[in-house]
A and B are shown apart, each in its own frame.
Chain A
Amino acid sequence: MKTKQLLAALALVVTAGAVQAEVKVDGFLQGLFGGRLDEKNPTATEYTASESRLQLRLEQVGDKNEFFGRMDFTYDAADSAGMDWELREAYMKARLGNNFDLKVGRQILTWGTGDLIFINDVFAKDYRSFFVGRDDQYLKAPQNALRLEYYGGIGSISLVWTPRFEPNRLPTGRTLSYYNPFVGQIVGEGYYFDVPRPASKFENSEVAARYSRQVGGFNTAFYFYKGFYKNPLGAVMVDGQPMPVYPKVNIYGASMRGQILGGIAWVEGGYFDSRQDRDGDQPLMPNSSATWLTGFERQIATNLTVNAQWQGDLMMEYDKYKVGQEFMGGYVRDELYHLLTTRITKLLHSELVTLSAFVFYSPTDEDMYARLNAEYKYTDQVTFALGANIFDGNSPATSFGQFQRNDNLFFKVTYNY
């Protein structure tokens, strides 16, 4: 697989050389260094990041189509002490007639309305990058996909087909510890495991669809997804041992977003139909749930923007879940889960300095996660950033509580070319 990707990358570079006159090349060089603040973290390394990264972007644009490639080369000095690389994007985009757009290849996909809360955005996320201070663009993991979009009088329709299921990238115990329910504690390197992806079969491919249109001043959308939970939320018994899996799910959702009260407001909801546990009586599979979020953002003073969000998640068949969890001695969440978030962004010094804080807090799970970041654009090319990721929680089994040993501080310098 890696060899194929490398060949593709080389082909990109060679093609770029051949038609250099029409190809735009840019990117950045970056150093990211981060250390953990918690001595009791059971990871093998004290660094949460020590990497040098080169991103190379190639673009070729025609009247009706365009090619774009983005390739990352990294050297990890803390963990594997090795060179690595990833094809982040490599796609062709074409306009077909007046109403259709097609995008084929490796790509980053986003939709929905939430700020760092995703309901109908079922595209792969990379929390390993997110939690150690990599740039925001790395929260999104690429997918090999085909996207067809229709734009017309009735509104717009997007169809995304991902032949091979692409899961979220979660902490694995190497540089970031996590809670392993099979062991019942926060674990590090020794419990590193790879969750098997659903077999590469046509019936296992992911389908995501969105229909949207403008209703009054509001952008209104409906969503559908058929695929798998992006996190390994379920398990199956193999030879008497539980093995984690990505359970099947359908998601039906809707959202609205628009300008109101001098700011932007959004609401979004989704029903997660857990296809392998519709009755809620499989204790190793997630229950279906209805989840929604609402948020509001406003500029409250010059260069100072604040937003707030509330997410609720109502579990179906809660009684059966509770019995099952209590029987297994696992963490029992509330039937109705709440998550509150707020983001504050302040720009200073002619927008060269950006200070931001993003805090997640769940009153029902009693856990929190704070992202703090200060960035200074020293020149158009050079940017310095200093930041921290702080986790806390009463239980090691909750969404953020499980990462409570991973508090870290990072420094980043980027040279754009």
Chain B
Amino acid sequence: MKRISTLTGLVLATGLLWTAALAQDAAEIMQKSHLAYYYAGNDGQTDVRMTLADKKGGERIREFTMLRLDKEDGGDQKYYTYFRQPSDVARLTFMVYKSATGNDQRWIYVPSVDLVKPISADDKNSSFVGSDFTYEDVSGRHWTEDKHTLVREDQLNGKAVHVIESVPLKPYKGFAKRLSYIDKTSFLPLKEEYFDDKGVMTRILRADKIEDIDGITTVTIRSMENVKKGSKTTVAFNSIKYNVGLKDDIFTERYLKTPPREYVK
């Protein structure tokens, strides 16, 4: 009897250790993935073309240039966005100081009235320019905000992937559960499935095209499908550059009012 319980204890302990190790692995994978996806290089510059397709097939286009500067890998970031299309928002600029752990700060500059305005940024889960991406999808949800578990190892489109389940540590409107398919070599998410609290899949993120840019494996086309609404947003990144040497002062009111033309033509 005593032997059995000792054995059970051992098995249980090993199991627990194994689970803990797996959880740690999963968190590590998600951290690597987060850094590969949102913190490539020290800074970045890209032209973005966003296509918003509704369920009736109607299309809307958003074109902008985006600049990003990282303070440290996995830490705070600054984003600068200059809109080109559609014409009613052309020349509008937008700036975000993303806090890895706290609240973001956002500003908008409306050139037609020369207005600089900070905007209340309480809700990271609200839509980015009306698309199926949220602000958080654009700049990344910090891996420490979720509990990660490695569900299985798998294959996706001929690539070996870790399948990781993430559950928010605090109740969160954006999702109740997320399944990420992380490429074992590049650590980029090839697919993410979002589920609500009833276990219904709400959105699917897909990496549609992956390229090598300056030696950094980069998703150059990605899409977010809103399963509930039947809409889909496709984002194509063009003229991507890393380590362009962006300075801190680009991300200030001065350049919000007068775009830095060496980066934003």
Contact = CB atoms under 8 A, between A and B. Distances in A.
A28 interface: yes
A241 interface: no
B113 A263 contact: no
- Tell me what chain A mostly uses at the interface: helix, strand, loop, or mixed: strand
A350 B226 CA distance: 12
B122 A156 contact: no
A61 B87 contact: no
B261 A62 contact: yes
B122 A26 contact: no
B19 to A, nearest CB: 36
A312 interface: no
Interface string A296-321: 01110011010000000000000000
B129 interface: yes
Given A95-B258, A110-B113, A262 B122 contact: yes
A299 B253 contact: no
B9 interface: no
Nearest to B118: A264
A416 B88 contact: yes
A346 to B, nearest CB: 12
B86 interface: yes
Interface string A99-111: 0010000011111
B253 A156 contact: yes
B170 interface: no
Contacts of A59: 91
Contacts of A219: 118
A187 to B, nearest CB: 31
Contacts of A297: 120
Contact of A380 (B86, B126, B127, B262): B86
B261 A416 contact: no
Contact of A139 (B113, B231, B257, B262): B113
A2 B10 CA distance: 93
B88 A302 contact: no
Contacts, number: 98
Contacts of B114: 107-110, 140
B115 A381 contact: no
A350 B130 contact: yes
A305 B252 CA distance: 25
Interface residues of B, number: 41
A258 interface: yes
Contact of B122 (A63, A64, A299, A380): A299
B61 interface: yes
B103 A259 contact: yes
B262 A63 contact: yes
Contacts of A137: 112-113
A156 B123 contact: no
Contact of B87 (A28, A64, A257): A28
Contacts of A61: 261, 265
B231 to A, nearest CB: 7
A110 B117 CA distance: 11
B207 interface: no
A298 B122 contact: yes
B90 interface: yes
B60 interface: yes
Interface string B250-261: 001110011001
B183 to A, nearest CB: 31
B115 A263 contact: no
B88 to A, nearest CB: 5
Contacts of B123: 299, 302
A297 B122 CA distance: 11
Contact of A302 (B58, B112, B125, B130): B125
B118 A380 contact: no
A333 interface: no
A298 B103 CA distance: 13
B86 A416 contact: yes
B55 to A, nearest CB: 11
A239 interface: no
A46 interface: no
B92 to A, nearest CB: 12
A345 to B, nearest CB: 11
A263 B258 contact: no
Given A27-B87, A137-B113, A258 B118 contact: yes
Nearest to A107: B114
B105 interface: yes
Contacts of B257: 101
Interface string A209-236: 0000000010100000000000000000
Contacts of A140: 113-114
Contacts of B229: 350
A108 B112 contact: yes
Interface string B97-121: 0000001010000001111101111
Given A61-B261, A262-B122, 15 more contacts: A26-B87, A26-B90, A61-B265, A62-B261, A101-B254, A110-B113, A140-B113, A259-B105, A264-B119, A299-B123, A302-B123, A302-B126, A351-B130, A380-B61, A380-B85
Interface of B: 52, 54, 58, 60-61, 85-88, 90-91, 103, 105, 112-116, 118-123, 125-127, 129-130, 173, 229, 231, 249, 252-254, 257-258, 261-262, 265
8 contacts: A28-B87, A61-B261, A101-B257, A108-B112, A109-B114, A140-B114, A302-B173, A351-B130
